[in-house]
A = this chain, B = another copy of it.
Amino acid sequence: MVTQQELAPWRSLLARSLHRNRSKPQSRYFQLATVQSNGKPANRTVVFRGFVETSNHLKIVTDRRSEKIEQIQQQPWGEICWYFSKSREQFRLGGELILIGDRDRDSEFYTERQNTWENLSDSARLQFVWPHPKQERSPDSGAFEPPAPESDTPVENFCLLLLNPHQVDYLTLRGDPQNRHIYWQEEDRTWRDREVNP
């Protein structure tokens, strides 16, 4: 069972941004930064898959064969940068990254992994049985047309990835001057905030 969390104060701002930008499919994409084992940053676009219910954990899906898995195992902290182009707002969400794979049956989020798999589109599910990402391009085009995996049984390569934000930096470019607000979680998990210069 998933621990219940109080909704963080920045959640209503983010809900409003998602609503304002709902006409643009790309408003559900954001950039996730992680750190490589050589100490250099990595950065890529991922799709927002909603929140884990009754918590502030953002859901992402990823392939077990992806390079970010090893990065997260070594440095389980990430920063999301989420820019909404229509409303001209930016959220930077820094926090703990939690991976839930096939073997993590003891995780409180194991059921969430199952639910997330079931809610993927057929084409999104198919990518988890494509040839190994970033290896030399497979000359066999049939390799990209495998039998569709079962919609109720997550494949082994499928991982749920959660980001549990500990700090959020919210900037609105509209307004003169711009507005910027910082939210952070204290040791006791209560949220505090402060208005700062942009």
Verify B132–A197 contact, CB threshold 8 A: yes
Nearest CB in chain B: distance from A172 CB, A: 13
Number of copies: 2
Across the two chains, which residue of chain B brings its CB closest to A42?
B79
Residues of A within 8 A of B (CB): 24, 26, 29, 31-35, 39-45, 75, 77-81, 83, 85, 90, 92, 94, 127, 130-138, 144, 176-177, 180, 182, 194-198
The 26 sampled A-B contact pairs (Cβ below 8 Å) are: A26-B83, A31-B83, A33-B41, A33-B79, A35-B39, A39-B75, A40-B77, A41-B78, A43-B79, A43-B80, A43-B92, A44-B81, A44-B90, A44-B92, A130-B177, A130-B198, A131-B197, A133-B198, A134-B180, A135-B196, A136-B194, A136-B196, A136-B197, A137-B180, A144-B176, A144-B177
